Amino acid sequence: MYIRNAYECSFIPGACRFRTQLRRTSLSPQIKPRFKLGWCFCLTISISFSASAPGTIRRRYRVRPDAGNAAGAGVRVQAAAGLSMALLSDVHTSLPSPEAGGESFFVRGSYLYYHYACDGFKDQGWGCGYRTLQSLCSHIRIAKEAKGMTGFRDDEPTLREIQEALVAMQDKPESFVGSREWIGSFEVSLCLDFFHDVSGKIIHLSSGSDIPGIVPDLVKHFKTLGTAIMMGGDSDASSKGIFGVHLGASRSYLLILDPHFTGHATVEELIKKEWVSWKPSDSFMASSFYNLCLPQFSSVSDR
């Protein structure tokens, strides 16, 4: 099946019409999309791509765990130039609830916190989507290891590998490799399939004011699958990860991991400066549209 153009679309409540909002991409003949449409406050599209074999792009660095499994226990990233920098894991576990009472729903299993320049590569100002993708990939990789699965890559893709993958899938031109162009939730869904054979469910919201309305869907996702979620927008162009939801007495909150941190992190610093924080679901920009990518993979170990 050959699809020339693919779109992320939104349903406009009340106006009873569709709006193509985001992107147009050229897909190669071997890619086979499968669409599932469901009605909410928006149109949700579940896309699964069958692309080239995961892990076929050259690896630039490897992730090696350090001793210890406590929250925040580091792993060490070895970059191509020989630079080594520690990454933190499960950085949300020390974060208190946003309010007394209520109920919280979190990612299931462990992950690594990727952020600006964490491997020595200077991507400040444009690499937030890539770093969020790396955090999501680490979560899926660690879950696969816990399940005893085999045949998957044992490290996260570098920024260049991500760009090369998007070019290989004909989503981007060759000039994209080595550029400083951003990526969003749609590109993240493509790369999750490319590197881990995991499809991504895209939820498009025409306004941040619609986010409280999809909180039940996010709760269901964390209860059934437990994987971290990618979040991107336009006016709010800062890509970020959603790693949990809290239902309070009168408000709901999203647990946000912000990849814009630069430096050698500690869990205490990340929490104090709100790089890891609870954000009220009604606090996002009403003037910005948002796209969420929900990986369709269960991170719950069945061992």
Given a contact cutoff of 8 angstroms between Cβ atoms, the answer to whether 49 and 31 are in contact is yes
* Length in residues, the chain: 303
Q: Assign residue 72 a region (left: φ > 0; alpha: ψ between -120 and 50; beta: otherwise).
A: left
Active-site choice (42, 118, 128, 191): 128
Q: Is position 92 annotated as part of the catalytic site? A: no
Given a contact cutoff of 8 angstroms between Cβ atoms, the answer to whether 88 and 267 are in contact is yes
Given a contact cutoff of 8 angstroms between Cβ atoms, the answer to whether 176 and 169 are in contact is no
Q: Is position 128 annotated as part of the catalytic site? A: yes
Measured CA to CA in angstroms, residue 61 lies from 95, 141, 195, 228, 269 at distances of 30, 15, 15, 23, 26
Beta bridge partners of 77: 63, 85
Residue 25 half-sphere exposure toward CB, CA atoms < 13 A: 23
Active-site choice (9, 40, 234, 260): 260
Q: Is position 258 annotated as part of the catalytic site? A: yes
Residues sharing a CB contact under 8 Å with residue 303, sequence separation 6 or more, in sequence order: 146, 147, 148
Active-site choice (155, 193, 210, 258): 258
Which residues are part of the catalytic machinery?
128, 258, 260
